């Protein structure tokens, strides 16, 4: 199984974008690919009553891979590891869970 560290190291070898605008480029690419994930889900809801078959799942997995690639490149350009991002997020969510704050809204729950 490929871990976050290995993925981030290998994926940066395929990065091809203007270095002087790398952070906005990666952030915009991430948004675009996340939009493609949402679009695939929307079409399954509309056309397949929300039922994901093998084909729909495979297409969604492919788009999620593109999201991961852009997230990885953005993290790399910021000098942050995907593993650290994942750990930080889990700590935040576990803290909210302990305090009964998983529901609701706002960044500082």
pLDDT > 90 fraction of the chain, expressed in percent and rounded: 91
Asked if 72 and 32 touch (Cβ cutoff 8 Å), the reply is: no
- Annotated domain spans of the chain: 4-98
pLDDT in tens, 13-52: 999 998 799 999 999 999 999 999 999 999 999 999 999 9
Q: Looking at residue 22, what is its pLDDT?
A: 96
Q: Which CATH architecture has domain 4-98?
A: Orthogonal Bundle (1.10)
pLDDT in tens, 66-108: 999 999 999 999 999 999 999 999 999 999 999 999 998 888 8
pLDDT > 70 fraction of the chain, expressed in percent and rounded: 100
> Over 90: is that where the pLDDT of 9 sits?
yes
Continuous segment of H or E residues that includes residue 64: helix 54-78
């Amino acid at each position: 199984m490929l871990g976050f560290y290995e993925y981030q190291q290998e994926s940066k070898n395929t990065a091809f974008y203007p270095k002087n605008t790398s952070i906005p480029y990666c952030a915009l690419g991430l948004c675009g690919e996340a939009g493609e994930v949402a679009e695939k889900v929307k079409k399954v809801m509309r056309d397949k009553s929300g039922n994901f078959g093998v084909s729909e799942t495979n297409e969604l997995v492919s788009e999620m891979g593109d999201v991961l690639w852009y997230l990885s490149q953005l993290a790399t350009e910021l000098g942050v590891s995907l593993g650290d991002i994942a750990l930080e997020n889990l700590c935040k969510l576990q803290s909210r869970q302990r305090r009964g704050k998983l529901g609701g809204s706002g960044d500082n729950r």
